Amino acid sequence: MREDGYGSGTILLSFLLGGVVGAGLALLIAPQSGAETRRKIKDIADDVKERTNKYIDETREKVAGAVDEGKEYYEEKKSLIKSAIEAGKEAYEKEKEKFAKG
């Protein structure tokens, strides 16, 4: 995330939407038949849909990867904490035995 609050996804989406609006205006202004205009609009819409789906898939993969990394990190730290607790219990028991004998 950038300091100004806009992530790369927001910026990419803004460019995509700007492109669609610009292309739509160009189609409305250009002199051509209705069928030709509809075909061009459909082509642009299909292209935007394809790019959006690709962006969504990439984002989904990144999120899944981050979740997996988070789970691995959690499991690793959980294991370390468990080991530290066990070591602490053992040290406590040894000190307790020393105190009882002494």
Cα separation, 11 vs 9, in Å, equals: 5
pLDDT at 1 over 50: no
Report DSSP letters for 34-92, one per residue: HHHHHHHHHHHHHHHHHHHHHHHHHHHHHHHHHHHHHHHHHHHHHHHHHHHHHHHHHHH
pLDDT number for residue 3: 52
Backbone phi, then psi, for 16, in 5-degree steps? -60, -45
pLDDT number for residue 4: 58
Higher pLDDT among residues 66 and 23, named by residue: 66
pLDDT number for residue 99: 80
Which tokens belong to 99? 């105190």
List the one residue out of 13, 82, 76 whose CA is nearest residue 48: 13
Q: What confidence tens digit (pLDDT) does each residue in 5-50 have? A: 667 777 777 777 777 777 777 767 777 677 887 888 788 888 888 8
Segments making up each domain of the chain, as ranges: 8-101
pTM: 0.46
